[in-house]
Structure 1
């Protein structure tokens, strides 16, 4: 069975006329009739019945029509996907990222990229550190932002694009809310609001507190940056968050204070699968990001991303 036979069959079924189908296919009527006859012989069943000047699908023909259309639609989609894979101005980028980057960074980079490539589509997938790595390895996303950036990993490669400082966030009426910077051990007696286990910011804050000489007392845990900010603003505790997680508006907001010692930072990287060619549109996005963050692919991304 040939694809040409399926094309001819579907066209005749829709037109209900061999001559009209041949005209639309730009082939001779005899060629269409011959292909339909060969298809019927191969299937061992009649696909059409003559009804006046037109043709009508038999019950077998109706059954075969559904399958034939599905096959041709799948083939058309496959051809489109290949063309988009090879075209950096089209196609879809599957991008993974942690929740904390979705507030400002992801909208900023996607908006900037789409100004240059307006026909590119994005499919986003948020997740925690382990799930993002798993999504990249399984091929469920093409690229993923991840924090902290893994310096070595057997199944992924990437580039560090940014090192971001974490700030202490305090209730507006906190005694330290008006100072410019604090030592982290000044918060040793406070109740902390932290991310739930599994979120990468949690061990960063925990390790920083241990380095400052104390174990944080955890009063509340959350999976959402907005919730942590809100709880702190409501006086339920203190926390540490990266600056890009502090872009928010509303009447109830915590106070941001710099931490002098120890300096608390997180690294953010862009990862992908090794030894596998990405779609050209994803490669274009990857190069755009390295330029956007001021990285050269070799140096760690200490340079800042555009803030406004």
Structure 2
């Protein structure tokens, strides 16, 4: 089977549209439609439901999409490895980093790596850890920082750091008179939270479930300076990693009771090919974490 139609097929499945798939592939739409008809004829199966302007996959199409993703990822990995053996690698590292780490932990590491390897390019994608993990599994990222919990079997990891999630409040908040804060007391306050999908929010949601509490979320934002500003002015309280709190923020921090610690790890696909550039970055990052 020619794998090119599989790329067309996945593009259609991802876009739910022949037209958008053709635009993504930089092809004429009739060429994409013809390739799909030929693929269906070759397999003797209907892969796509075509109802007016609605495009969905049949059960057979869904099964093919599952296998096509693996086939194309393996093909791309093989081509990259062969290119490197011929010395044609572009030397690109694609890494996903949660916003808290991207702003406070990683900048000096990224700059130090670029200083050692000036010919390698770095592409940094910011997002929630769940989103980044899915992008890693789908081959959209080579490496990603994730919170180590409920990891699939196809992911390998190395410990980066262990960080405490702290309750953050204004200086005049009653919590400033306490040594620590229970989950029950935390959820009695109005909260300033990251949006869904970020590990910050997932930890809070899990804590709420464990304590049978419903969070009272007054503000949602992924902008850390805005979270700090709203909290400093007393319009709510939040929870942040200890690394992002600075004296100039004008905030009081307290541990949860009991304390909440997160294991942050660098992850990569077990079955994926790590290029020489990615291996160099992974080795550099692990050395920094182990010191």
- Interval of TM-score (by shorter of Structure 1 and Structure 2): 0.5 to 0.7
Distance of aligned partners of 1:139 and 1:207 in 2 relative to their CA distance in 1, 3 Å threshold: closer
1:272 maps to what in 2?
Answer: 268
Paired with 1:153 and 1:241, the residues of 2 have a C-alpha distance of 27
Q: Please give the secondary structure, in 1, of the residue aligned with 2:287.
A: helix
Matched, 1:218 2:217: yes
Post-superposition shift, 1:215? Answer: 3.8
Distance of aligned partners of 1:286 and 1:224 in 2 relative to their CA distance in 1, 3 Å threshold: same
Aligned-residue RMSD, C-alpha: 2.8
Larger radius of gyration, structure 1 or 2? 1
Could you give the per-residue CA deviations for residues 167-201 of structure 1, whole angstroms, max 9, x where no partner exists?
11001221333655444444343111112222221
Distance of aligned partners of 1:117 and 1:234 in 2 relative to their CA distance in 1, 3 Å threshold: same
2:12 maps to what in 1?
Answer: none
Paired with 2:108 and 2:177, the residues of 1 have a C-alpha distance of 30
Q: Please give the secondary structure, in 2, of the residue aligned with 1:102.
A: helix
Q: Please give the secondary structure, in 1, of the residue aligned with 2:191.
A: strand
Post-superposition shift, 1:276? Answer: 2.5
Q: What runs of 5+ residues in structure 2 fail to find an aligned partner?
A: 1-81
Higher mean Cα deviation, 273-282 or 112-121? 112-121
Distance of aligned partners of 1:190 and 1:79 in 2 relative to their CA distance in 1, 3 Å threshold: closer
Q: Is the contact made by 2:165 and 2:261 (CA closer than 8 Å) also made in structure 1?
A: yes
1:192 maps to what in 2?
Answer: 191
Could you give the per-residue CA deviations for residues 206-245 of structure 1, whole angstroms, max 9, x where no partner exists?
3335556744322222232222222111211111111233
Instruction: Report which of the two has the higher share of helix.
Output: 2
Q: Is the contact made by 1:193 and 1:238 (CA closer than 8 Å) also made in structure 2?
A: yes
Q: Is the contact made by 1:104 and 1:245 (CA closer than 8 Å) also made in structure 2?
A: yes
Distance of aligned partners of 1:81 and 1:225 in 2 relative to their CA distance in 1, 3 Å threshold: farther
How does the TM-score come out when normalised to structure 1? 0.60
How does the TM-score come out when normalised to structure 2? 0.63
1:284 maps to what in 2?
Answer: 280
1:126 maps to what in 2?
Answer: 126
Paired with 2:183 and 2:255, the residues of 1 have a C-alpha distance of 6
2:145 maps to what in 1?
Answer: 145
Distance of aligned partners of 1:84 and 1:92 in 2 relative to their CA distance in 1, 3 Å threshold: farther
Q: Please give the secondary structure, in 1, of the residue aligned with 2:124.
A: strand
How many residues are aligned here? 210
Q: Is the contact made by 1:177 and 1:255 (CA closer than 8 Å) also made in structure 2?
A: no
